[in-house]
Structure 1
Amino acid sequence: MDVLIHLFVGLHIVGIAALLGGFLTQMKAMGQGTARFVPAMLHGALTMLVTGVALVGLNEVQDHYVNNIKIGVKLALLVVILALVYVKRDEERVDKGLFGLVGLLTTANIFIAVLWM
């Protein structure tokens, strides 16, 4: 079961890399006001959601400690990210503030995962 947990952790990291990578590749365009949500950002966020739910379930099954408040905060941030990216995914240009918010929430999600014990 530990191998399965580690596999999902790896996939979770791939998802966040796609989301953050998509954001970082659009930083120059954000400065010019032409940034848009690329498909990698949506797919990365969805991957994070699916693998995160699987990780919580697998850890609960193994009676590992799961900080439900931390998971709830991370889930809330991810739902906001997913909603913004999904709704605005077909627009040619996304407002700088909105695009920056997705980057900020993604970064906050990473730091919550790493720093909150």
Structure 2
Amino acid sequence: MDVLINVFVALHIIGIASLLGGFLSQLKAMGAGTARFTPAMLHGALTMLVTGVALVGLNQADGATVDNIKIGVKLALLIVILGLVYVKRDEEKVDKGMFVTVGALTTVNIFIATLWT
């Protein structure tokens, strides 16, 4: 079970890397006002959602305790991120404030995952 959990953790990290990497790659375009949500950002957010839900289930099945409040906060942030990226995915350019919001929420989600114990 530990190997399976670690595989899903790795996939979860790949999802967050895709989401954050897509954001960081658009920073120069954001300065020019032409930033857009890339397909990698959408796929990264979806990967995080699927693997996160799987990780909660696998950890509970393994008998580990899961902090449901922490998971709920992370899920709420991810749903907001996913909603923003999904709705604006086909737009040629995205409002700077919305783009910064997605990057900030992604960063907050990372800090919640690592610092909330």
TM-score range (shorter-chain normalised) is over 0.9
1:6 equivalent in structure 2: 6
Runs of 4 or more, structure 1, over 2 Å off, are none
Partner of 1:46: 46
Question: What is residue 24 of structure 2 aligned with on the other side?
Answer: 24
1:60-79 CA distance string (max 9 Å, x none): 00110100000000000000
Read off the aligned partner of 1:15 and give its amino acid letter: G
TM-score, structure 2 as length reference: 1.00
Figure out how many residues of one structure are paired with residues of the other and give that number: 117
Q: CA RMSD in A?
A: 0.3
2:116 is matched with 116
Distance, in Å, in 2 between the alignment partners of 1:116 and 1:65 is 14
Which residue matches 1:68?
Answer: 68
Sequence identity of aligned pairs in percent?
Answer: 78
Q: Structure 2 unaligned segments of length 5 or more: list them.
A: none
Deviations, residues 24-65 of structure 1 (Å, cap 9, x unaligned): 000000011100000000000000000000000000001101
